[in-house]
Amino acid sequence: MLSKTLSLLSSLCLCLVLTVAMSVLVPAQARAAADPVDLFVEALLDKDTETLDRLLASNYVFIGSNGHIQDKEHFIAAIRSGDLVIKSASFKNLRETSAGPVRMVTGNGTFVAVSNLPLPSGLMRVTLVADDTGPRERIVLVQLTPVIPTSDCEDGNCQIR
């Protein structure tokens, strides 16, 4: 009786250990397979400069909604120092065009940030270019353009503000 109870307990413990291990491994695998666009937005919102450093190409260019241009080094430094704080970002109506290993994603959505430079927030047209010629896809360009909210904007044909 005691041996059956111990056997049952050890089986239950093994099941518990496997369940915990799988709950840790599955999210990591899901994140690894996630789209760089989604990972980019998550990293911005979380102020995760380590993830941004991995996602962004060495020749990355960020064109903010105020027209200010930053390279990878300055973009990450602005986030790290708090000179650029992304409060919210959500993009929809994303469309993708590919040319070989390069893809361009465009869409619209909202972007709210605080910067040491005046920075328009609200409805934006987003353009993201990613390059997959290396060992993994890297983001080369992100451009945010303020737009006017109209009925046409729902299908991505927003008028530039």
CATH number at 82 reads: 3.10.450.50
The answer to whether residues 59 and 116 belong to one domain is yes
What is the reported pLDDT for 4?
A: 42
Mean pLDDT of the chain: 78
Whose CA is closest to 71, among 51, 92, 53, 94?
53
Range of the domain at 74: 35-160
The answer to whether residues 26 and 41 belong to one domain is no
Highest mean pLDDT out of 6-10, 30-34, 123-127, 152-156 = 123-127
Residues 22-57 pLDDT 10s: 333 334 344 344 677 889 999 999 999 999 999 999
The answer to whether residues 46 and 105 belong to one domain is yes
Phi-psi region of 62 (alpha: psi -120 to 50; beta: other; left: phi over 0): beta
Task: Assign 6 a pLDDT band (cuts: 50, 70, 90).
Answer: very low
pLDDT of 9 > 70? The answer is no
What is the reported pLDDT for 157?
A: 66
The answer to whether residues 1 and 59 belong to one domain is no
Q: Whose structure tokens read 């945010």?
A: 144
Task: Assign 99 a pLDDT band (cuts: 50, 70, 90).
Answer: very high
The answer to whether residues 44 and 122 belong to one domain is yes
Partners of 139 in the beta sheet? 56, 130
The answer to whether residues 99 and 54 belong to one domain is yes
The answer to whether residues 20 and 79 belong to one domain is no
Task: Assign 15 a pLDDT band (cuts: 50, 70, 90).
Answer: very low
Residues 123-143 pLDDT 10s: 888 999 999 988 889 999 999
The answer to whether residues 119 and 74 belong to one domain is yes
Whose CA is closest to 122, among 149, 153, 84?
149
More confident residue, 122 or 21: 122
